[in-house]
Amino acid sequence: MQTHETNCAVAEQLSGYLDDELTQQEQQRVMVHIRTCHSCKALLEEMTTLRGDMKRAVHVSADARDLPKVMNDRSARFLGWFGWIALVLGALLLTTFFFWDLAVELLTDRNVPWWVRLGIAGVYLGFIGLFLMVLRQRLIASKTDKYKKVKL
Amino acid sequence: MTGSHPFMQWYGGALAFAVSLLGCREAAQDMVQHALYKSMSARRVPSDTAAQKVWFYKVVRHACFDWLQQEKRMDRSIVVEEFTEAFVDDETLGEREEKVVWVRRALALLSSEQREILVLREVNDLSYDDLAAVLQIERGTVMSRLHRARMALRTKLSEITEDGGLSNANP
């Protein structure tokens, strides 16, 4: 295999020229240079051949046996979604029931002093108030976010 | 065959890229599968195709590096024979065509840095901007690194050709 050596200043730009990644001015410069420089012209041709050889040598055929099964496993995806939804709904229902039951029991129990019941009511109302405040802020932020359409 | 998932169009290229980093087909398949799985479950995946491609190759690269770290192979060295056997030739290509084997062998003798940039450019056709994003280097560095890699591949290939395909020198 014959290799061509070149020490020209544009040697590195030959790669950029081959890949069509130079500015118009640089491209013109390289084009003019290779018209007169035989070693650079030969090197460019050699690099073009090498590219073709690389493509053939490193080509990986997407054999059906290689394709990831996870991509086509719809049942697993459906089961995954179903599992998550059921888990979240279940946890939500149980938590609501627990806090509701606790609140009813404490607030209606005559043995609990009035100031404790007042405190419990305050804590519950406080949590509801804070939740509504955060929810409102999030909603406003999502509506007025000027970077919303910026693609990452 | 690309399947229905949009990322499947880069499956072959990503597999070649992962093989170039790991030197082993089985591990490369696992890493690409991991990246595909991540593309389905990630919350913030870019919406346009060009950015998706860069994102996907980045995920594959990071997965490969994590695997190499787990395997305590941080020098990223590969076994030449294993690497040359990692590619499955389709039947239209003359099986074990001499030059194809020589190119694979020459590629295996390069440094990991040179192999990855060559495979990303020559096989996956990534632009210099995309290469800079995937490899996390400056755009200006891309051209010089790529040129050096091409020259190194050319040198290794000429050494192998002169030896009649027997050269097995370490990089």
What residues does each domain of chain B span?
6-162
Closest CA to B117 of A17, A49, A24, A15: A15
A28-32, B55-59, B145-149, B158-162: least confidently modelled range = B158-162
Average pLDDT, rounded, for chain B: 83
Q: Does A63 map to a domain?
A: no
Q: Does A7 map to a domain?
A: no
- The hierarchical CATH code for the domain B6-162 is 1.20.140
- For chain B positions 60-79, those within 8 Å of chain A (CB to CB) are none
Q: Does A41 map to a domain?
A: yes
Same domain, A134 and A83: yes
Instruction: Using a CB–CB cutoff of 8 Å, tell me whether B16 touches chain A.
Output: yes
Same domain, A92 and A125: yes
Q: What gap in Å lies between CA A61 and CA B6, rounded to an integer?
A: 17
The token pair at A82 is 């179903």
> Average of pLDDT values for A133-143?
89
- Interface contact A46-B154, CB threshold 8 A: yes
**Between chain A and chain B, how many beta carbons pairs sit less than 8 Å apart?**
124
Same domain, A87 and A116: yes
Q: Which residues in B lie closer than 8 A to residue A46 (C-beta atoms)?
A: 154
Q: Report the number of distinct structural domains present in chain A.
A: 2
Same domain, A30 and A79: no
The token pair at A23 is 């500015």
pTM attached to this predicted model: 0.68
Asked if residue B30 lies in contact with residue A134, where contact means CB atoms within 8 angstroms, the answer is: no
Q: Note the residue count of chain B.
A: 171
Q: Does A150 map to a domain?
A: no
Q: What pLDDT, on a 0 to 100 scale, did the predictor assign at position B144? A: 92
Return the residue of A nearest to B41 by Cα: A77
A46-95 pLDDT, tens digit each? 999 999 888 888 876 555 555 655 555 667 778 888 999 999 999 999 99
Same domain, A91 and A41: no
Q: What gap in Å lies between CA A43 and CA B158, rounded to an integer?
A: 13
A35-55 pLDDT, tens digit each? 999 999 999 999 999 998 888
Which residues form the domain of A24? 13-57
Closest CA to B126 of B57, B37, B75, B39: B57
Same domain, A52 and A84: no
Same domain, A46 and A82: no
**Residue predicted with more confidence, B8 or A151:** B8
Q: What gap in Å lies between CA A126 and CA A120, rounded to an integer?
A: 10
pLDDT band (50, 70, 90) for residue A31: very high
- Interface contact A59-B123, CB threshold 8 A: yes
Nearest CB partner across the interface for A62, out of B12, B89, B103: B12
Q: Is the ipTM of this complex over 0.85?
A: no
The token pair at B151 is 């020259």
